[in-house]
Amino acid sequence: MASESNSIQQSSTQPVTPGDDDGIREIRINPVVPSESVLVATARSMRPKKDEAPAPRDTRAHVDRCPFCTGNEHMTPPEISRCPGTGDWNIRIVENLFPVLGDDRRQPDFSFGLQQTIDGYGRHEVIVDHDNHGISLHEMSAEHIAMLFGAYRDRIEQLYESDDRLKYVLVFKNFGPAAGGSIPHTHSQIIAMPVVPENVQAEVRSSAQYYDKHHRCIFCSLIDEALTFEATIYDRESGEVRRRLDVGQYIIERGERFIAVKPFASRYEWEVHILPLHHQADFRDTSEQDLQDLGQVLKRTMQRLDAVLGGVQYNYFLHSAPGGRDNRTSSSYHWHLEICPRTSIPTGFELGAGLFVNTVSPEHAARRLRDVCI
């Protein structure tokens, strides 16, 4: 632990090396969506790493010409809401200047032969996460992060209520150029769409199948396993130890109500998921106390990622039970936040084979994130 913190003090921009990552080469099946698998191959040649120093971060608190900075509210598209409701704001929701989906014109769905389209109906909005221009998530107070997720929750609810053609509301954040963040002022986005995205549907479908078989939520089972499972697996032929599983091996952070875990079949080297410890299908059901604890767990998780990776660029997105609240989904599905740091570029192999390649074993990444001093 001591050497970890020393090396980070010397330079937080050191590229991460697998170090004592044991030579693993195996395909891991995603337990939630079995059709998705990941090749964990710790031989570094598998994937071009973005070893260059992270892009310099704009840490200015205020930028005169930035449309998201205070005093420039007239430069954004119309405001939808702000937090607090009146006076100086901490968080603002505005319409997107270049929406990918919109409700300003309608065109009928279209089907001809194998060509099928669904009208690009929907809403696309921007959330200015903080009044401080260059602040990173790990530098925000846990209370502010709780308020931000409260703003997400309230807006998701309003959008579902506003129009029953909206089938899914996705909240996500792109941070840093490698993650597609085009405006430097910290912000997130909301897209309300007329279809449930296929990856969410796949999670909902697979977890419902698991529920039918085992009468349990698969996400709750995964959390229990992470908290209680210990085993040594031996090779049948040689008797050598093939794998040792330890209690808490995949846990990065734990609060009273939330847990941050490293998925066993992580697509990205430093991917981390945050889930409520107690079963909850719909993010809209989070209470104020839930959000406070989520704020703490997310802040500490981001501090860990920043300490290990230095200037982490990432995407995060919320997966929650889609649209209407039907009972079946609420027993079998469990909402979560997926955080995907961008440290490498997908290759032709990944695009062509549909198989993610992860060059840092999830066990090693989890240990690094847990042991780093924050």
Binding residues for Zn ion (CB under 5 A): 63, 66, 68-69, 133, 185, 217, 219-220, 279, 319, 334
Q: How far is the CB of 41 from Zn ion (least distance, A)?
A: 23
Q: How far is the CB of 276 from Zn ion (least distance, A)?
A: 8
What's the CA gap between 248 and 109, in Å, rounded?
49
- Our CB check for Zn ion shows the closer of 274 and 308 to be 274
What's the CA gap between 162 and 165, in Å, rounded?
9
Which sign, positive or negative, has the C-alpha torsion 344, 347, 349, 352? Answer: positive
Q: What is the DSSP letter of 86?
A: S
Asked whether the beta carbons of 99 and 69 are under 8 A apart, the reply is no
- Our CB check for Zn ion shows the closer of 121 and 270 to be 270
- Our CB check for Zn ion shows the closer of 220 and 245 to be 220
What's the CA gap between 47 and 365, in Å, rounded?
17
Q: How far is the CB of 90 from Zn ion (least distance, A)?
A: 14
Q: Which of 5, 335, 19 is nearest to 171 (CA)?
A: 335
b/e burial code for range 133-157 (CB count within 10 A of at least 16 → b): bbbbbbbbebebbbbbbbbbbebbe
Q: How far is the CB of 223 from Zn ion (least distance, A)?
A: 7
What's the CA gap between 318 and 304, in Å, rounded?
20
- Our CB check for Zn ion shows the closer of 187 and 300 to be 187
- Our CB check for Zn ion shows the closer of 47 and 133 to be 133
**At a CB cut-off of 8 Å and minimum separation 6, what does 350 contact?**
356, 357
- Our CB check for Zn ion shows the closer of 18 and 341 to be 341
Q: How far is the CB of 331 from Zn ion (least distance, A)?
A: 8
- Give the residue ranges of DSSP H helices in the chain: 2-10, 142-162, 198-214, 218-228, 288-309, 327-332, 348-353, 362-371
- Our CB check for Zn ion shows the closer of 121 and 149 to be 149
Which sign, positive or negative, has the C-alpha torsion 199, 202, 208, 213? Answer: negative
Q: How far is the CB of 68 from Zn ion (least distance, A)?
A: 4
Q: How far is the CB of 79 from Zn ion (least distance, A)?
A: 15
What's the CA gap between 272 and 251, in Å, rounded?
9
